Amino acid sequence: MKTYKILAATAIVLATMAGCNSQKKATSTGNIGKDAVVNPNTLLPRKGEIDSVSYLIGIQFGSFIKGYNFGDKLNYSQIKKGILDFINAKGNYRDSDFVKQFKINPEKMNDLVNSFLEKRAHYVQAVNTKKENDFLEANKAKDNVKVSESGLQYTILNAGDTTKIGDQDTVYVHYKGTLLDGTVFDEVPAKRASARLVLNRVIKGWKEGIQLVGVNGKVKLFVPSKLGYGEQGGANGIEPNSTLLFDVQVDSVRHFVAPVEKPVKNKR
């Protein structure tokens, strides 16, 4: 189960760290005779160490919560209760009776978590769809915005030269991609070298939009989610059904050349 694997990995890491620390401490007291009596309290981690490890465990849990997009509606008092209930539970967790100590059977975790995340995903999709519809409806009314048959909205800032870009060509571009709230999720600024992109490997909105200009052309793209990452969303915080805004400058293009098939020699 993925959740348990993550938590188990954390436990292993922390146990390893603790083992290393203990080993270092044991080494530092190596001058104590074999029969010397050591005060156990001197071997305990200091408050600073306890606080640091506690904080890092919190980061691990935070990474899990954020990584699976649980949102901001979790009840953290119940998270704390669940942690303490497990720590204070009696017996071996491999025994069948062990789970009876909890108010919810941990074996139901997969079903409950998957149901929760599915509802969260549907909610996010619905919210972003409304935002997209409202934005695109208002945006297309602007004088400088054009709409293609696919629904792509765009503004050509500079048409560039007369170079025709094909849908299998390789382009070198500078660009900035933002979400509707202004969050930059990807960018190749002017101070960096151009990014190399093959048009048949990018999202549909890009593939169509880049072909609207030539070399040295600049275009602003308003990409509906159906021409972007759709219901699945993408990396860098791109949620399902997200509208994507791009400012793109085409620096150069390398045209696609179909490979020439070599004639097959007849065997004699």
Kindly list the distances between the CA atom of residue 243 and the CA atoms of 126, 146, 178, 247, in Å, as whole numbers in the listed order: 13, 16, 9, 14
Residue-level pLDDT at 6: 40
In a domain, 131, yes or no: no
Residue-level pLDDT at 202: 94
Same-domain pairing of 7 and 95: yes
CA 175, CA 184: separation in Å to the nearest integer? Answer: 11
Same-domain pairing of 43 and 96: yes
Has residue 32 got a pLDDT over 60? no
What is the pLDDT averaged over residues 226-239? 92
Give 267's pLDDT tier (boundaries 50, 70, 90).
Answer: low
Q: Which of 25-39, 41-55, 127-141 has the lowest mean pLDDT?
A: 25-39
CA 42, CA 145: separation in Å to the nearest integer? Answer: 72
Has residue 60 got a pLDDT over 50? yes
- Give me the DSSP letters along 29-74: TTTS-TTPPP-GGGGSPPHHHHHHHHHHHHHHHHHHHHHTT-TT--
Q: Count of domains in the chain?
A: 2
CA 149, CA 135: separation in Å to the nearest integer? Answer: 18
Same-domain pairing of 181 and 92: no
Q: What is the pTM of this model?
A: 0.72
Instruction: Look up the domain containing 249 and give its range.
Output: 147-254
Q: If you ran DSSP here, which 8-state letter would residue 263 be given?
A: P
- Please report, rounded to a whole number, the percentage of residues in the chain having pLDDT higher than 70: 85
Given 88, 103, 118, the domain boundary residue is 103
Sign of CA dihedral 67, 72, 73, 78: positive
- Give me the DSSP letters along 165-230: PPTT-EEEEEEEEE-TT--EEEEE-TTSPPEEEEGGGS-HHHHHHHTTS-TT-EEEEEE-GGGTTG
Q: How many CB atoms lie within 10 A of CB 175?
A: 21
In a domain, 228, yes or no: yes
Q: Is 106 helix (H, G, I), strand (E, B) or coil?
A: helix
Same-domain pairing of 173 and 243: yes
Has residue 25 got a pLDDT over 70? no
Same-domain pairing of 160 and 87: no
Cβ partners under 8 Å of residue 14, min gap 6: 53, 57
Give 215's pLDDT tier (boundaries 50, 70, 90).
Answer: very high
Residue-level pLDDT at 8: 45
In a domain, 151, yes or no: yes
Kindly list the distances between the CA atom of residue 210 and the CA atoms of 21, 154, 238, in Å, as whole numbers in the listed order: 56, 10, 21
Burial 24-33 (b: 16+ CB within 10 A, else e): eeeeeeeeee
In a domain, 69, yes or no: yes
Tens digit of each residue's pLDDT (9 = 90 or more) over 181-200 = 999 999 999 899 999 999 99
Same-domain pairing of 245 and 165: yes
What is the pLDDT averaged over residues 93-104? 90
Given 103, 122, 157, the domain boundary residue is 103
Same-domain pairing of 167 and 225: yes
Residue-level pLDDT at 257: 80
Same-domain pairing of 91 and 9: yes
Q: What is the CATH number of the domain that holds 152?
A: 3.10.50.40
Average pLDDT in the chain: 86
Tokens of 176: 């900035």
Give 152's pLDDT tier (boundaries 50, 70, 90).
Answer: very high
Same-domain pairing of 90 and 164: no
Given 44, 76, 103, the domain boundary residue is 103
